[in-house]
Amino acid sequence: MTATTSAPSTGLDVPLERGPAATFLRESHIVFRRQLRMNLRNPAWVIIGMLQPVLYLLLFGPLLEPLIDQFGATNAYTFFVPGMLVQLGIFGAFFAGFSLIGEWREGVIEAERVTPANRTALLVGRLYRDLLQLCVQALILVALGWALGMRASAVGIVIGVLITLLLGGACAAASNALALTVKSEDVMAPVINMIMMPVLLLSGILLPMTIGPDWLVRVSDFMPTRHVVDAVRASFAGDFAFSALGWGIAWSVGMFVLAVWWGTATFRRENA
Amino acid sequence: MIHARGLVQTFHTKRGRQREEVRAVDGVDLDVSEGEVVGFLGPNGAGKTTTLRMLTTLLRPTAGTATVAGYDVATQSVEVRRRIGYVSQAGGAFSGARAGDEVVDHGMLYGLPQRLVEERGKALFEQMDLPGLWARMPKNMSGGQKRRLDIVMGLIHEPKLVFLDEPTTGLDPQARANLWEHIRGLRDRLGVTVLLTTHYLDEADALSDRIIIIDQGRIVASDTADNLKAQVAGDLVDLEVHDPAQLSAAAERLATLVPGPGGVEVVDRHVRARVPRAGRSVQGLLRDLDAASIELESIEVLRPTLDDVFLTLTGRSLREAEAASEQVGGTGQDETDPTAAGASTGAPTATPVTSSPTTTEGAHR
């Protein structure tokens, strides 16, 4: 040591007194700020995350235009952008756990856990980051869709994006929980692929399930994300009836609550 | 500062289809006083890190009780966390973030205001020989610098008690020696109590006021290094005899210095025995050998090491224990605790028990 210092204090005389809610918000904000800083340092990943839905929009969207009448819709992009939003919400958010494994490996998670910070705040701070990233990506996607010919009301877009954020939050929380459970990218990648494939095929993200055979429609009824896709499509199409939006919103909220509970439980379980 | 009684930690592992219970820590009693630097020594898999993780509230004890800084680790974990610093084997700073940012964010999680954390962090950077590295990413730092950064993070809230888990593993000799100076400084200049785990004999010897030896989840000794070594019966005298025909004659003369029967070992052309206060008696031995015209190739007098202490206490050397734990995958948390950071691929791996290049004793072991 090159400098002499006075004896340290107890470490307890400086922290500011705050209520539990304010402490929680502060702690989750510290985690969020740190995560955001790391994302901004590597914006390439945010862009790469957007690449897939944008490519779908540019290269697959035109293929839908001649078929759109058969789907019971009038505008191919008003039909297709909601599907891409949901895809972004699922795929983008489900990869959030990979960065958590990297942090865990470098001892960051353990270092955070040995602080008095609330365990839920450690997860929620990361969710803020995931949701902000998803929100920005969603808005870019909507803007691009608009440029390509999509038309929807502002209220419809807002509701659709909010449903997407709920779903994305659920996927991000589940991804973080899964990451802390398996602690290995080699395990995580095939598990995500295993989940994603049926979700992609049975949610009607690319094509509506209604054009398929009855048995496939029945099977897709059991896929929660199918109802979310239907709800986002309905909101973009201006159909705000409960039958169209209700199930999607209910599933989104349900999955969000369940996943956040799982994520929080995992952060807590790792700790005494 | 630390009082633990009957700490137990069990894990479950799968061997084939069978689920096995592994008792990583098996009834540890531990007391550490304020201002002590205590070395927690044992081979990989002995239960050092698991014990540390229980004391730092990262792992709930399966059984037993422990108070740290006056608070119960199981029921008052947040109060414990406020008062301790912990530097894990894996580190704590993200390699792709700026070092200063990591320190500030970490300090703020203790409820400290940003400006205060920045001031303290920059002062600690100076103290820990990290000047000018505030904006550097850990991935661009040397191993020693990275380790000192980890310690800065552990000290940012000015704890009175710091846990260091294998602080010098993976560092080169120069970086280790440098870090030792800083660890000594924690106690000498900052008045911090330190509990450090290590499997380096020389590190425990050089740094610790007191050494606690753990093996297979149990504490087998706790004393100062000198007192532990005093438990070993004398210094090791090793005679290398020139003419193999004179081995028995040399052994007879060496046996006169050994209290009690037996105790002299002949291996190849070497005659060895533990001799109390060999420094004094070896001169007479040399005269006897000379008078009997027994020619020596070399003579070595080796002071007892902590490895000798471990051998005396457990019946095997630390290095053997290390090799055994590596063969079976270990019995302690170091290898089996699924919650430990860095337990899978990509984490810093433990290196075998070695003696420091700066000492010569171990080279002969």
The upper half-sphere exposure of residue B3, i.e. CA atoms within 13 Å in the direction of its Cβ, equals 6
Residue B282 has phi, psi (to 5 degrees) of -70, -25
Mean pLDDT for the stretch of residues B47-61: 90
- At residue B35, the pLDDT reads 87
Q: Given A113, A116, A184, which is nearest B58 (Cβ)?
A: A113
Interface ipTM: 0.79
- Angle (CA) A137 A140 A142, round 5°: 110
Contact by Cβ (8 Å): B341, A105: yes
- B233-302 has CATH 3.90.1150.10 classification: no
Of A7-11, B7-11, B194-198, which range is least confident? A7-11
- At residue B322, the pLDDT reads 64
- At residue B55, the pLDDT reads 93
Of A102-111, B97-106, B292-301, B308-317, which range is least confident? B308-317
Query: pTM here?
Result: 0.76
Tokens representing A248 are: 């999607």
Neighbour count for residue B300 (Cβ, 10 Å): 15
Q: Which of residues 155-194 of B touch A (CB under 8 A)?
A: 157-160, 181-182, 185, 189-192
CA distance A28 to chain B (A): 9
pLDDT in tens, B241-284: 988 888 888 888 888 888 776 678 888 889 988 887 777 788 88
B322 versus A32: which is more confidently predicted?
A: A32
- At residue A162, the pLDDT reads 95
In this structure, the dihedral spanned by the alpha carbons of residues A136, A139, A140 and A145, taken in order and rounded to 10 degrees, is: 160
pLDDT in tens, B336-345: 444 455 443 3
CA distance B305 to chain A (A): 29
Tell me A88's DSSP state. I
Residue type, A45: W
- From the number of C-beta atoms within 10 Å of its C-beta (0-12, 13-18, 19+), residue B226 rates as exposed
| Cα–Cα distance list, B215 to A105, B321, B325, B350 (Å) | 27, 9, 11, 16
For chain A, helix (H) and strand (E) counts, in that order, are 13, 0
Domains of chain B by residue range: 2-229, 233-302
CA distance B104 to chain A (A): 10
pLDDT score of A197 more than 60:
yes
Q: Given A12, A42, A115, which is nearest B109 (Cβ)?
A: A115
- At residue B81, the pLDDT reads 92
Residue type, B112: L
Q: What is the CATH number of domain B2-229?
A: 3.40.50.300
pLDDT in tens, B178-191: 888 888 888 888 88
Residues A127, A114: Cα–Cα separation, whole Å: 20
Mean pLDDT for the stretch of residues B189-194: 86
DSSP-based three-state secondary structure for B167: coil
- At residue A53, the pLDDT reads 79
Q: Given A14, A30, A117, which is nearest B116 (Cβ)?
A: A14
Residues A262, A74: Cα–Cα separation, whole Å: 40
pLDDT in tens, B212-246: 988 888 898 888 887 777 777 678 888 899 888 88
Residues B7, B56: Cα–Cα separation, whole Å: 13
Q: Which residues of A touch B93 (CB under 8 A)?
A: 106-108, 111
Mean pLDDT for the stretch of residues B316-342: 53
What percentage of chain B has pLDDT greater than the value 70?
85
Neighbour count for residue A2 (Cβ, 10 Å): 9
Q: Average pLDDT, whole number, for chain B?
A: 80
Please, which residues have CB within 8 angstroms of residue B200's CB and are 6 or more apart in sequence?
A: B168, B353, B354, B355, B356
What percentage of chain A has pLDDT greater than the value 90?
33
Whether residues A10 and B97 touch (CB distance < 8 A) is answered with no
